[in-house]
Every structure is written in C-alpha cells, then in structure tokens.
A and B are shown apart, each in its own frame.
Chain A
Amino acid sequence: MKRGRNDDDAFGMFPSSKKDRDDEEDEKIHVYIPQKASLSLALTAGGDPSAPQPQDAVSHLFPNANFGFLALKPDATKRPLWVSDDGRIFLEAFHSLAEKASDFLVTIAEPVSRPARIHEYKLTTYTLYAAVSVGMETGVLIDVLERYSKVKLPQRVVDFIRDCTNTYGKVKLVLNDNRYYLESTFPKVLRHLLKDPVINEARAFRTDADNAKVEGALAKRLGNGGNAAKVSNQKGSTSTGGNAAKKTSGKQDSKNSDLYNRAAITPANAATDDSAFGAVISLDEEDEEEEEDTAARLGIVDGLSGGTENDGGLVMGPSKASAALVELDYAQSFEIQKLHVEEVKKRCNEIDYPLMEEYDFRHDKDNPDLDINLSPKCQIRDYQEKCLSKMFGGGDGRARSGVIVLPTGAGKTLVGITAACTIKKSALVLCTNAISVEQWTKEFLKWSTIDEKRICKFTSDSRIPFEGDSGILVTTYTMITHSGKRAWDTGRMIDFISSREWGLLILDEVHVVPANVFRRVLTTVATHSKLGLTATLVREDDKIADLNFLIGPKLYEADWQNLSNRGHIAKVEATEVWCPMTGDFYKEYLKSPLRKRRLLCVMNPNKLMAAEYLIRSREAAGDKIIVFSDNVFALQHFAKRLNKPFIYGHTGNKERFALLQHFRDNHPAFKTICLSKVGDTSLDLPEATCLIQISSQFGSRRQEAQRMGRILRAKRRSEEGFRSRFYTLVSQDTDEVAFSDKRKRFLIDQGYMYKVVSDLNQLIPPEEAATLAYHTRKEQVDLLNTVLAHQDEERGFDDDDLMSVMPTAGAGSDGILRGPGGKFKAKAESGRGAVPEKKRHALFAKYYAK
C-alpha cells in the first residue's frame, strides 16, 4: 500500500492533488443528493428585492442585510430570537425561554456560534431535512418558530421551509418482516410516487398465500397503530373538545385496516392503476376529515402556544415528542420489490422525495435478538438521553439513522452502547484504529451486560468471530475496506461480516472518513440502521453535507459551553503564545522555499524554549501533558532533546500501548508525552490535563477541536476551579499566524476564549530562561544548521494510521449508495421481478453466477 496518498483528502484540508478532485467528481456521480438540497436562503447583493427597505441615515451601511422591515412584535421582549430574511437565527441565550428555544433550534437549524450570550443558527436544506426526519412537521415548525421570534417571520423563510419540507421526510422506507414498504402519512404523496413509472414498476404484488402471512404481521402492527391513534386523538380532544375526536379515531381504525387490506391486493386485481391504488383514492375522499384531524392536532400546538410552560417541550421532550409526531398513527404504505429498493431510493432523491429509513427492530423476526442490556451501574446523562430520543423518537421500536455530534469526553461511546442495547440485534462498530477497537470493546464490557463470548474484535491481531448467531463486532474502517490481498482468516472475517445482516452499524469519528470509504463500507455491510458519532462536523471541504445522505441527517449537536458549565466536560483555558522568530531563523525563513519555511517555524528556538518552560511549569503544577507536533522531524528532535517519550506513525502498537500505559499509571518519567498526528483521534488519554501544540496542520479547525477534545475529560480532576490548559505556540510573523487564526474559529464559535501571550518575557521569568535548552546562541545556530541540513523528504508531516492504508480512489467507485437494505442481497432469488443482467450491482453478481 502506498503510504502518503490521500492524507490531505482524508482530513479535508486543501485539495492538493488532482486525485482529490477526481474523488469529488466521483462522488457527485454516486451520491444522489436531492435537487432541493442545493436551495439556499443566502441573499445576493442588494438584499431581497421584494422587501420594502425603509431608508434612514444609516441604511447605506447595510446594503444587503437590512432586516428592519421585519415588523417587531409588540411583546418582542418576551420572545427569545430573531429570524432574518436570509435564514439566520439569533437567539438570546440569557432569555428565560432560551433553553427551550435552543432545543428546538438545534433540531431545525445548524448551530453557527454558541458563545455566552447570543447564539447564531442557520437554516439550511440539510437541517430542515434532519428536522423533518425526526418527525417535525412543516406546520409545527413554522408555528413554533413564529412563536419564538421577536420579529414577524419573513415570508421568504416561511416559503423556504415549506419548499424544503413539503417533500422531505414525507416517505419512509420501512423494512418489516423481510419486506420493504414505502410508508407515508400523506396519501397524496404516495399517489404522486405511484405515478412515477420507475416506482410503479418496482411495486410488489402478492399472492394470496403470501397475504395470509403478511396480514398476520400487519395485524400486529395495526394493533399498535390503532392504540396510538386513540391516545393522540384523545390528547387532541383536550383542546378542541367534543366527540369529534372520538369519531375520527374510530374512522381512523377503519381507514387503516382498509388500506392494509387493499395493499394486499392480488396481481389479478391490480390490472389498472386506479384499482391498484384504490386505498389511496378512497382515502382521498376522506381528505376533508383528515384536514379536520390535522386541525385538531394543531390544536394541541395552539393550546400550548398560549402557555409558556409547555411550548418548548412539545417539540422536544421524548414523551411529548410523540404527541407532535402523531403522523405515525395513520401511516399508509405499499410494498416494493427488494430488488428495486436501490433504484427506488435513487429515483426518490431525483424527484425530491428522499426516503427516510427506519428500522422496525422490534418486529424484525428474521434477525436473532442479542441479549444485551445497559449495566445497572451505568447512568445516562440528560443530553445523551436527548440524542437517543432523536434516534428512537420515531415511535414504538423504530430506529432512525443519523449522526450525533458530542464533544470528546461527553460520552459518545456510551451513546453508541445504549443504542446497541436498545436495538438488541447484532451490531458492528467501526473505529479509526486498533486502539479505539480496544477501547470500544472494553467499554462495551464495562457498561453493558453483553456476554464476553458474544463480542469480538477484528484487527490485524485478532480475527475470531463471536460465538452464537448474534453479537457485537468491533473493527476498523481499514480492515473492512482493505482491498488488497488478504490473509486467509481476514478474508474469512470479511465473509462473516458481509454474509449477515446487522441491526446497527456504529461509525465512530465519521468526520475523518472520506466518502468513498463510506461507500465501500456500506456496500460490504448489510445493516438496518446507521449511527455516526463525531465531535466535530467541521470539514474544510464541506463534504459533511454528503453525510446527510450517506448515513443520515444530523440528529443532535451538543452545546460545548453548556456541557462545560454543567461539569460534563472539563473547563479549558486556551492560550496562544506568540513566539518571535530569532533573527537567524527569520533570515533563513524569508529566503527559504515553502516547505523549509514550515520547518523553520516549528523549530524556532524561542518556540521550543517556550514549550520546554510550559512543560516544566505545568509538570510542577501536577498536570499531565501532551505535546503535539505534526512535524515528525521536529517531534523527534524536540522529544529527544528533552528526553521525553514520543509516539508517531512508525511507533509499533506494542510500544504505543506500553508508553500510554506508563502515562496512564502516572509514571514519573511519563508526565509528558509527545505525539504526532496519530494522537489526534486515535488515542484515548483520559488523564491529560494540559496540551501544548507546537506544530499543526495548517488551518484545520477540525484538528484544533479534536485536539481540544483530548483534554476535555473531566472525570478525574473535577475539583472546584480546575481548568485544563490548551497552549498553542505560534511563531510570530510567519504563516503560522494566519493558520492559527483560522484554526481557532471553530472553538471560538463554541464560546471558547483564547488568551494571547504576546510577549514571551512575560511568560518565562528571566532566571528560568537561562536554564532552558536552546537558549544559547551557539545551540540556536547548531539547531539552525540541523534544520537546514535536514533533507526534507516527501513527508515531514505524519499521516494518520487510518489514512495511510486507505484504498485508492478508484476502488469502490462503482459502488452505489446503499442504505440498510442489506437484506435483499442474501435472498435476492426469492424476489419476483428479475432485473436484466446488466443492471445488476457488482456485489450481487456473485449470487447470480451461482
């Protein structure tokens, strides 16, 4: 495997090679993104031409962002936020309704910045898609937003929300008893879909014999649905009063059964479109009643809008969420053939009805259950519960796919474990490297009741599957996507993985993995639901958007400051130390080529002296320190000079474990450890309380956030007033300054403050300075000569383990986007409509070849 390829791409930095651009094009072909995803609320110069622009002495200062025309409501002070014409939302975080409002906003909009007092959010097509897919309805969404807004909701925004949500999230792909159904609460939508030739073609028709089986299953479901409808309608009646609700409820039941009966129409009866979809047509007549019913539902909302007590909760609270999600109660559906699932999904994206995928795990009888529960000693925090309620909020025993964003240290792993314990089916966990595999396995054993034999690791050292018919398998992206020659038992493991159905696929650190890797994973693994976990969804290349359609929408994103204030993650004091370049170094810097410049910045003696001083003083204060240097040459040189242990890409696994173990065990010689980029995501160092960054990857906000994550674990040192420390050393007057400015942006938007030490003399006491390495001119000149003599081979910067063994771009490019519909692979032959040979996916070809 060629090392060094793909590294920039993987971290989404600068598109540096042609190959990267190929990747992008490659993706455009294979990620089917709905057309409307490209809609934007951004205003062009000159602002919204349709908006009346009041003129006064300072109007000219706001050429395209004058929202003064939005009328202020008389009771504006009682409402916590502003909504602008371009879809930005500004929330007063100190408002009494702020907490509820921010719960609502994080569901429907992207958090842009969340410092102490005013938070900014942004509405995008993706966030609205996510909102809809967790069950938010267009009407409720607009209604609640209007209620919270100080200014009248701009018509442009209302239109945008309508436009994005009226087709999004309306149709679900449900896998039930081994059959796929397109399910919707909106009969019109189903009718519309059936008119589409591709989808109509894919429709499945059943024989009587099949029906008996199906009906049995449906009856079960129906029972649930009917009950739920009653409950919710009773809720509705509290606001509207009268018997109407009861009547509707009764009707509802009959409506449902009618639909399901018709859905099981035999092919003979299905001669014409009309009769085939009789259920929906007949429902059409009942549209009026349905509207009434909707009104009743909105009644709940209106009722709440009066009282301030409940309103935020309506949308958010797990129990109340179901009230807002009554749509489930009278879902209608038709079945589609397994073989056509991919095609239908693609087609639905094309016609702007992206399918939401839900896994009805409670009714999945095909896949054996796994005996797993949360350990009694484990306590779930409220925000973790919130995450999970988004994932499982779809109703009784259904799981949605999506991404959850929690800062490092806030317990992402536990969220994953809880999800696995809820679904209780086989689960596959993908991590970035072997060390994480160890950690996940350990955590599973610690926090759940899983039998040790039922959990297994699949790494280069361990290739034995779990025992029994269900279990947990933990492995790395690399192992599963490795496309080169495999050892015999590796191949066996891959077969083991790809030959079975998984209930849940957990994707750890989703943000580091390139889209083409995801595609490979998703074509290898047949899974019913996907959960992506990450601390930061920032990517310099904006490829994050694709995750929405590869994994699922972002379900939840935690507020860092909030968690930090409540002690769930450590408080951090971030400091940027400005280190002037020494004269000798700066002279060389000015005349050196770019690559050499970087090394000169990193090796700046003043910087190394500052680093040494910080290490010394923080060690004395009892901190455990990580020193990060992306530049391996600098890392080695510095660590050797100060006699500190270091880990970089070439450090063997055994040595890594040993070093980290010493660090963990508070070994006196291991208070400080120097790491290359491998430490960014791969290592778990629970007791680090101080971080010193001497070289980093350009302006990567993601890396900065990830590194911050290394010291956020608050467990051990939660005493009053304790703060972890984060030092970034920047060589003044060099490129590093601009990069550092960019890197800081993400964390600043999360409300972190960077203190600046602009004068090293303030930091280092003069008597101390003379005792530091590199303080003599002679040593500095020697250092400079070493740097200049250093033949900078291709890679001064270390690759992450993961990326160095990533498949080449071409591999897997023919894989199509696959959802949880793994089922049809194994049982393809049983499907009715056979597909012409050429349309078959490469992966299925082997089944046909038999």
Chain B
Amino acid sequence: MSTILEHIKTLDNNTLTRLYHQPATCLAILRLLQPLAKHIIMRLLFVGAVEMPVVLNWIFDTKQASLAEALLSLRNFNIAWDENGSLIINQVFQTNLKNALVGGGNTSSFGLPTDSKDKKDITLEYLDTYAKESWETVLHFLVGTPSEKRPTAVVTLMEGSGLMAKPAHSHRPEDLRITNKGFQFLLQDVNEQVWGFLLQYLEMSEQLGMDPVDVLNFFFQLGSLEFGQDYSVDVLTDTQKQMLEDLKHFGLVYQRRKKSSRFYPTRLATSLTSGVAASGDTGDAGYIIVETNFKVYAYTTSPLQIAVLSLFLTLKARFANMVIGILTRDSVREAYNNGISSDQIKQFLTNHAHPEMKKELPPTVVDQIKLWESERKRAVAAPAVLYQDFPRSLEYLEAVGFARELGYVLWSSDQKRMFAVTPEGHVRMKEYMIRKKQQQQQQQQAV
C-alpha cells in the first residue's frame, strides 16, 4: 500500500494541491496515512492552524521522534507544514476533507449512483465471480497459460511494467515471458497486486498524455464506491471513461456493454483503500508439500496455482485435488533463465507450505536450489583482447613473448598462433605493434 503513497509523495506541490480538489481523494489519503499523521490532520481540520509548541505537547517526550516523522510526511504530502511557528493545514485539503466528512461541495467525487434501476439484476456473487475470473485471466496470462483472450490493455501493461518481457530477438506478443519482477508480483497479495497494476497504469497514462490528477482521482473514487451499487458513467471525465474501458479487463469494474451508461465497481476496486482483503477467500491455507527427494505435492484445484507451479516445477501428474511435480535442475534453471531467483522460489514454497511442513522446507532442497543458481554464475565474463592472424610463427612468438614478459597473457595457443591479453595489456601491445610495423617498414625501405 505504501507504494501508492510513495508515488504521491513524488508529485510536486502544485499537482498535489490539484489532487486535493476531490473530497474522495482527500479521504482516501487520510485513510492510507499512518495513525499519528491521521491524528494530527483531524486535530487541525477544523482549526486550520496550531502553534508548534502546542503540537509538540500533544505527544509524550519519549515519542517525539514519531511525531517528527509524521510531520515530515505531512509536509511531503503538502498537507500540513510549519509556517511562522505554527502548524498550518493545506486549505484545499482542509476544505475537501471537511466536505468528504460532513457532506457538501462536489458530490460527484464519490461517484453518482444511477437513479434508475438496472433491468438486469446484478448480484454481489456475480460481481465477485466476474472479478475473480477477470483477475485470474490476467495472472494466467502473466504465468504464460495459453489463451485466446488477451486484451491489448493487459498485454501493453504487462510488458510496459516489466512483469513480462520478450526475448531479445522477438517481437511477437506470444513470446512474452514472465520476469523476475513478474514472479515477485505473484508473491504479493491481491491488493498489493492491484495497486501495482494501477501504479503502472498511472505511469503509462502520463506517457499517453492523460492527466495524472484525473487518473489518481479516479483510483481514489473507485476506492470510495460502494460494492453492489451501480454508478453513472456520464459524470466521468473523458480520461476516466477511457480508464473505465481499460480497468474492465482487470476485473476492477463491471460494465455490461461498452455503451452502457452504468458501471459496477467490484470488490477489487472498493477495497483499494480499505485495507480489507480484496478476494473472497481469506488468505489460502498452505497447500504445498516439498519432500526431501525433490518431489512437490500441491493440494490445489486452482488452475492458476498450478500454472504458477509450472514456472519452476516439472509437473508429473494431476489428481482432482492434488498435483505432483518435481524440482529438477532443468525446471529450476528454466525459471532462473526467466529471471526468477532461488530466493523467490524458496519464498513462494515457504509462503504456501502445507501445515504439515510447519513452514519449513527440507534444508537440502533449499541448498540445492541455491546451488543450481550459483552454478550459473561460475563463469565470469571479463573483457580481453585477442590477437590472431600472425603471418609467420616468428612474429607470433615475438609478440606473445613481449606480452608474456609484461604478464598480460591470459591465454595462448602456439598451434593457432593466437593469444589473448588483458585490456591494460592491450594499450602496451598497441604501442608494440606500431613499433614493430615501423621497424618492418624501415627494414623494407632499407632493402
């Protein structure tokens, strides 16, 4: 969650103030801040300014460090700052937060519920299923499950965010493979994942010339909507309508048809700033057993979990409620080739370990995964300069003799008349070669 705040922190004061024109945004940021910062805002909200000595008195002396930290973060967010010995609040933020809390001002900030009733009855279950399916489709795409459905918005976002990458020589979207970053992404919980995507979206929207304030406001608006309620599309800005179109693919919002004048936020959206787990299932119990013989037994029925496992396992068999795989050198190396690290594999297996495993993997398996990783790093590349094509043996021997005397020779083959020297050696070798050439020319002239 801190990531969205970190992003906002980087915005300049001007943009921040523009952002604070929306009551929904102010409320969302209030929610995301640390408790002490929240507390200070609430104390300032209706008085506007408080003298600094008073502020310092609010907190026990032993906790002054925390206070300083909170004040610093408020200044970074351009919400409140020390001016002429008083702590004053950003007036725009003050006004709009007040509006959010007591009502009034710009009403569309929290979305405009439609006044007519939807002909079709959209149930909460339906929305949950829709959200889950859409989100899993995205993740399936990430882990490389073949499928026809791959909206451009998703593909672009995956590649743009570096969660997936194409091999150097390829340009086809089918060749996209999960990256280290992508695997790290899989290790996070759904809420973190959604925010991860949204931030990426934000970054890309700027490149596309969309107003970041508009984009951010819409994120926070989504977070403040009520699950199960339908909202009007008409009050949205053009940017936000475009976003609506894109976010549909991630399952954040539901819109029956493209032209439909109403949309429903799903739980993925409404829980953005609430801190409550977004998915219906409350943090799945561990399901993976790793054996000392490198076999992995995963109690799962979820195709997504199986697809994730297939990133570093050779899958062997599947039962209705269990899949069997094995960690092999090849399967793990393939994961490494995609940039996944041994620590990530270890973390994934530990995070999802079956209760029987007692949160501990067999040490030999962990060691071996590490060894497979380190064996990839045994060969170290260092620059060197190769000398070859000596016309005669004599010239080769003279040259290699010179280099050897100075200790620059890394490798040599008398048979092939080739040798390699260090880059430092190359400078001296060049001088030597030029000198040789001159000598040769002089000799020739002399003849």
Contacts and interface: CB of A to CB of B under 8 A. Distances in A.
Given A72-B321, A90-B297, A58 B289 contact: no
A113 interface: yes
Interface stretch (B101-109, B117-125, B362-370, B416-424): B362-370
Given A67-B317, A151-B319, A115 B303 contact: no
A67 B317 CA distance: 7
B145 A751 contact: no
A574 to B, nearest CB: 9
B92 interface: no
Interface residues of A, number: 36
Given A57-B303, A57-B307, A755-B367, A113 B317 contact: no
A37 interface: no
Contacts of A118: 289, 291, 295, 297
B404 interface: no
Interface string A104-132: 00000000010111101000000000000
Interface string B299-329: 0000110110010000111111111100000
Interface core residue of B147, B293, B306 (most chain A CB under 10 Å): B293
B318 A755 contact: no
A753 B140 contact: no
A82 interface: yes
A150 interface: yes
Interface in B317-371: 317-324, 356-357, 362-364, 367-368, 371
A783 interface: no
A822 B423 CA distance: 84
B364 A756 contact: yes
B318 A68 contact: yes
A61 B305 CA distance: 13
A496 interface: no
Contacts of A460: none
A843 interface: no
Contacts of B357: 117
Contact of B363 (A70, A84, A755): A755
Nearest to A95: B356
A787 to B, nearest CB: 25
A275 to B, nearest CB: 56
A754 B293 CA distance: 10
B319 A84 contact: yes
B321 A76 contact: yes
Contacts of A249: none
B64 interface: no
Interface core residue of A61, A115, A749 (most chain B CB under 10 Å): A61
A752 interface: yes
A151 B364 CA distance: 32
A566 interface: no
Contact of B291 (A56, A115, A150): A115
A748 interface: yes
Interface in A726-767: 748-749, 751-756, 758
A88 B317 contact: yes
Interface string B14-40: 000000000000000000000000000
Contact of A753 (B147, B289, B321, B363): B363
Contacts of A113: 291, 293, 295
Given A56-B303, A67-B319, A150-B321, A748 B371 contact: no
B374 interface: yes
Nearest to B354: A117
B292 interface: yes
Contacts of A88: 317
A122 to B, nearest CB: 13
B291 A753 contact: no
A751 B364 CA distance: 12
A283 B146 CA distance: 64
Interface in A211-249: none
Interface string A752-795: 11111010000000000000000000000000000000000000
Given A117-B291, A753-B363, A755-B364, A94 B319 contact: no
A67 B318 contact: yes
Nearest to A120: B295
Contacts of B306: 58, 61
Contact of B356 (A66, A67, A94): A94
A90 B320 contact: no
B149 to A, nearest CB: 11
Given A116-B291, A118-B289, A749-B293, A756 B321 contact: no
Interface residues of B, number: 35
Interface core residue of B291, B324, B362 (most chain A CB under 10 Å): B291
Per DSSP, chain B at the interface is mixed
Interface string B136-161: 00001000011100000000000000
Contact of B292 (A65, A748, A756): A748
B378 to A, nearest CB: 9
Nearest to B296: A118
Given A57-B147, A118-B297, A753 B364 contact: yes
A753 B295 CA distance: 13
B320 A70 contact: yes
A748 B317 contact: no
A763 to B, nearest CB: 14
Contacts of A58: 145, 303, 306-307, 310
Contacts of A62: 315, 317-318, 323
Given A57-B140, A58-B307, A748-B293, A753 B362 contact: yes
Interface string A453-473: 000000000000000000000
A204 B362 CA distance: 63
A756 B289 CA distance: 22
A60 interface: yes
A71 interface: yes
A65 B321 contact: no
Contacts of A751: 292-293
Contacts of A57: 140, 145, 147, 303-304, 307
Contacts of B310: 58, 61
A90 B324 contact: yes
A84 B356 contact: no
B295 A756 contact: no
A65 B320 contact: no
B364 to A, nearest CB: 4
Nearest to A578: B371
B151 to A, nearest CB: 16
Contacts of B362: 116, 753
A115 B371 contact: no
Contacts of A752: 292
A82 B322 contact: yes
Interface in A439-465: none
Contacts of A70: 319-320
A745 to B, nearest CB: 8
B380 to A, nearest CB: 15
Nearest to B365: A753
A77 B226 CA distance: 39
A116 to B, nearest CB: 6
Contacts of A66: 317-318
A57 B356 CA distance: 29
A65 B356 CA distance: 25
A65 B293 contact: no
Interface in A584-617: none
Contacts of A151: 319-320
Nearest to A758: B371
A754 B292 CA distance: 9
6 contacts: A57-B147, A57-B303, A70-B319, A70-B320, A72-B321, A90-B322
Closest 5 CB pairs of A and B: A65-B317, A72-B320, A57-B303, A753-B364, A58-B303
Interface of A: 56-58, 60-62, 65-68, 70-72, 76, 82, 84, 88, 90, 94, 113, 115-118, 120, 150-151, 748-749, 751-756, 758
Given A57-B307, A61-B310, 9 more contacts: A57-B140, A57-B145, A61-B318, A90-B319, A115-B291, A116-B362, A118-B291, A118-B297, A752-B292
